[in-house]
Amino acid sequence: DIQMTQSPSSLSASVGDRVTITCRASQGISNYLAWFQQKPGKAPKSLIYAASSLQSGVPSKFSGSGSGTDFTLTINSLQPEDFATYYCQQYNSYPPTFGGGTKVEIK
Amino acid sequence: EVQLLESGGGLVQPGGSLRLSCAASGFTFSNYAMSWVRQAPGKGLEWVSTISGSGDRTYHADSVKGRFTISRDNSRNTLYLQMNSLRADDTAVYYCAKNDLITIFGVAIDYWGQGTLVTVSS
């Protein structure tokens, strides 16, 4: 199975900050990488697919990059509604695997 | 508007069975693969199963293989997860998810249901 490692596991940031989350795959996955946002007690929401393409309706403050084994999610101008846990997922091969999550908290 | 509404969760004893359903609307159901993803209390996301749009191809996680079966009824726009021989570590919120293509390979999740809680306990 492909292991997905996210870092950091948590971070504290202020409103208006720019935040970057990293996701590393244990082997190459081309660009078959997705990012999800989950707020407490809620279902995940899809943000990005194919490493850098925004899902419909997702604001452009979210951006993704990377290919192969190293990927990043960047959130510009952090707002109160962006405080949540973010997960990456590879879907290059079965089983699809998720990273452990990055909790973005208010400083 | 895409809507996915899960049902069928609840409390079940170890060794018991449960069938989850996911009613889909707002898109042509048979044109898309569908998946189940679960989340144990306080834990991360875990993929469970995926089925192709036509229903002829399925994949299951090793942790549920031989116990869980994903299926779909395209005439009813409904996805199912039959769960047998349930164990305590199957306790989780189970999410129905829509994939963005009809095939089961290289498909991302684009929409999620609200989830249904399955608790396995005596």
Q: Tell me the pLDDT tens digit for each residue of A30-85.
A: 999 999 999 999 999 999 999 999 999 999 999 999 999 999 999 999 999 999 99
* For residue B73, pLDDT beyond 90: yes
A6 touches chain B (CB under 8 A): no
Residue B30's SS3 state is helix
Average pLDDT rounded to a whole number, residues B58-86: 98
Whether B94 and B104 have beta carbons less than 8 Å apart is answered as no
Give the other-Cβ count within 10 Å of A77's Cβ. Answer: 12
Q: Across-strand partners of B93? A: B39, B117
Q: What is the pLDDT of residue B102?
A: 79
Q: What is the pLDDT of residue A56?
A: 95
Average pLDDT rounded to a whole number, residues B84-97: 98
Q: How far apart are CA B17 and CA B29, in angstroms?
A: 26
Q: What is the pLDDT of residue B40?
A: 98
Which residue blocks in chain A are alpha helix, DSSP H?
A: none
Q: Across-strand partners of A68? A: none
- Kindly give the pairing relationship between strand B78-83 and strand B18-25: antiparallel
Whether A89 and A71 have beta carbons less than 8 Å apart is answered as no
Q: What is the pLDDT of residue A33?
A: 97
Q: How far apart are CA B23 and CA B46, in angstroms?
A: 21
Average pLDDT rounded to a whole number, residues B80-106: 94
Q: How far apart are CA B21 and CA B94, in angstroms?
A: 10
> What is the least distance, in Å, from the CA of B64 to any CA of chain A?
12
Contact B111 A46 (CB under 8 A): yes
- Measured at the alpha carbon of residue A26, what is the angle toward residues A83 and B108, in degrees to the nearest 5? 55
DSSP state string for B34-97: EEEEEE-TTS-EEEEEEE-SSSS-EEE-TTTTTTEEEEEETTTTEEEEEE-S--GGG-EEEEEE
pLDDT band at B105 (very low <50, low <70, confident <90, very high): confident
- Supply the Cα-derived Rg of chain A in whole angstroms: 13
* For residue B104, pLDDT beyond 90: no
Task: List CB contacts (< 8 A) between B50 and chain A.
Answer: 94, 96
Q: A86-104, pLDDT tens digit by residue?
A: 999 999 999 999 999 999 9
Percent of chain B past pLDDT 90, that is, above it, reads 94
**Residue A89: CB partners within 8 Å, gap ≥ 6?**
A4, A33, A34, A35, A36, A96, A97, A98, A99, B45, B47, B109
Contact B108 A46 (CB under 8 A): yes
Q: What is the pLDDT of residue B113?
A: 98
* For residue B106, pLDDT beyond 90: no
Q: How many CB pairs under 8 A join A and B?
A: 56
B106 touches chain A (CB under 8 A): yes
Task: List CB contacts (< 8 A) between A39 and chain B.
Answer: none
- Closest to B109 (Cβ–Cβ): which among A34, A94, A97? A34
Q: How far apart are CA A43 and CA B37, in angstroms?
A: 11
A68 touches chain B (CB under 8 A): no
Q: B31-68, pLDDT tens digit by residue?
A: 999 999 999 999 999 999 999 999 999 999 999 999 99
Sign of CA dihedral B90, B96, B101, B102: positive
